[in-house]
Amino acid sequence: MASPPSKENRPQTAPPAGETERCRTLLEINNALIANLTRDALFRAIAEAVRRVVPFDRTAVFLHDPGRDVLRLFTLESSLPTSYFVLGLEMPAHDSHVGRVFREQRLLLRGDLGTQREFPMEERAYGDGVRSYVIVPLVVHGRNIGTLAVASVNPHQYSVSDAAFFQEVASSLGMDVISENALVDRLRVGDTMALEALMERHASRVFRVARDITRTDADAEEVVQDVFLTIARKIDHFEGRAALSTWIYRVTTNAALIKRRGKRAQLEVSLEEHLPTFKEDGHRDGERSYLLADWSQNPEAELLDGEAAIPGTSRASRSSASRAPRAATTTRATARRTSRSWTTAVQA
């Protein structure tokens, strides 16, 4: 009977990555996030950084579609052959392993799919060669938006410590999932949550720009809604040659100018009707011969004259400050209306 191999001769497995190496990886991920890479390039960079400390054969991000109540495969990095696991794949929120993590907002660690399969989609993953996996929730600002899944062909590949590391990766990745580049991709497939996220980020400034041009809160609110509906409907025309924010503010300026011109056209009257007429000898003629403009009933002037003075502030700064809370409130309400309007248009 052969003796067991000595301790020195036993095959050695790679030790788990140390805390320092994992912190370095998280820093590398954060650097990738601020590098303004495309979605695919960014996820590839993150996957390569993670693979150096924790091996995997497949990793994917699923985002929740509230309209269909499914989790849709948003981005993927994989070395496994498959007949089904492709971008756009939809996992049911109530009958899948991905859906369970999303609903319960708790990670799921499967050590051996050979004995732990529970959902139909796990059967398909097992058929692709997956033997163990970790799925963690993607939560951004307290809002659950999807999941991050990491899988291996080796049983018992991942530990609780690995799962905690992937949760930190998800926290960083979640911020980018709702970044502008990702929002563009999500808008293109009709994701209303992406429109709301875009408005949360830009609506206040859009309102201020529109207000400076239109001069009224009501018109500015209409411009905000028009701008984001335009962005949503014409997102396929955005080529990415400039920042999305630049495009948004260009659309805002155009919409606000159109609104102001429209108002001005409604208020225009014939100037000739109000000009004095003259006799042949040059003296004024008719009932308007001594017409004088009366500006005493200018409501805006009376309102400004009646403002209580605030020490250390100018009238302009007081006016701007008084509009700030209203801008925040109105843009949130406008975001909800715009999202509903776009949802109706998409479904129609």
Displacement of CA 173 from its chain's centroid (Å): 13
Q: Categorise residue 286: left if φ over 0, alpha if ψ from -120 to 50, beta otherwise.
A: left
- 56: Cβ–Cβ under 8 A, 6 or more apart, which residues? 47, 50, 150, 151, 152, 157
Q: pLDDT (tens digit, 9 = 90+) per residue, 208-243?
A: 999 999 999 999 999 999 999 999 888 888 876 666
pLDDT computed for residue 287 by the predictor: 54
Residue with the bigger pLDDT between 39 and 64: it is 64
Do residues 173 and 199 share a domain?
no
pTM: 0.54
**Cβ distance 52 to 25 under 8 Å?**
yes
Measured between alpha carbons, how far is 147 from 61 in angstroms, rounded to an integer? 6
Q: What total of structural domains would you count in the chain?
A: 2
Do residues 173 and 43 share a domain?
yes
Do residues 151 and 223 share a domain?
no
Q: pLDDT (tens digit, 9 = 90+) per residue, 239-261?
A: 766 667 778 888 999 999 998 88
Do residues 208 and 170 share a domain?
no
Measured between alpha carbons, how far is 259 from 208 in angstroms, rounded to an integer? 15
pLDDT computed for residue 149 by the predictor: 96
Measured between alpha carbons, how far is 152 from 206 in angstroms, rounded to an integer? 46
Domain assignment of residue 230, yes or no: yes
Residue where one domain finishes, among candidates 177, 195, 228: 177
Domain assignment of residue 275, yes or no: no
Find the CATH number of the domain harbouring 107.
3.30.450.40
Residue where one domain finishes, among candidates 177, 209, 242: 177
At 248, list the tokens.
């948004």
Do residues 155 and 252 share a domain?
no
Q: Categorise residue 105: left if φ over 0, alpha if ψ from -120 to 50, beta otherwise.
A: left
Q: With H, G, I as helix, E, B as strand and everything else as coil, classify residue 150.
A: strand
pLDDT confidence band for 10 (50 / 70 / 90): very low
Do residues 346 and 202 share a domain?
yes
At 39, list the tokens.
């979605």
Specify the DSSP class assigned to residue 153. Answer: S
Do residues 125 and 258 share a domain?
no
State the burial class of residue 347 (Cβ atoms within 10 Å of its Cβ: 0-12, 13-18, 19+): exposed
Do residues 340 and 206 share a domain?
yes
Specify the DSSP class assigned to residue 119. Answer: S
Taking residues 295-313, what's their average pLDDT? Answer: 44
- Which of 240, 244, 100, 233 is closest to 178 using CA atoms? 244
Instruction: State the number of CA atoms in the 13 A half-sphere of 87 facing the CB.
Output: 8
Taking residues 168-187, what's their average pLDDT? Answer: 78
What residues make up the domain containing 157?
19-177
Do residues 34 and 154 share a domain?
yes
Q: pLDDT (tens digit, 9 = 90+) per residue, 63-111?
A: 898 888 999 998 899 999 999 999 989 999 999 999 999 999 999 999 9
φ/ψ of 158, rounded to 5, equals -115, 145
Residue where one domain finishes, among candidates 117, 144, 177: 177
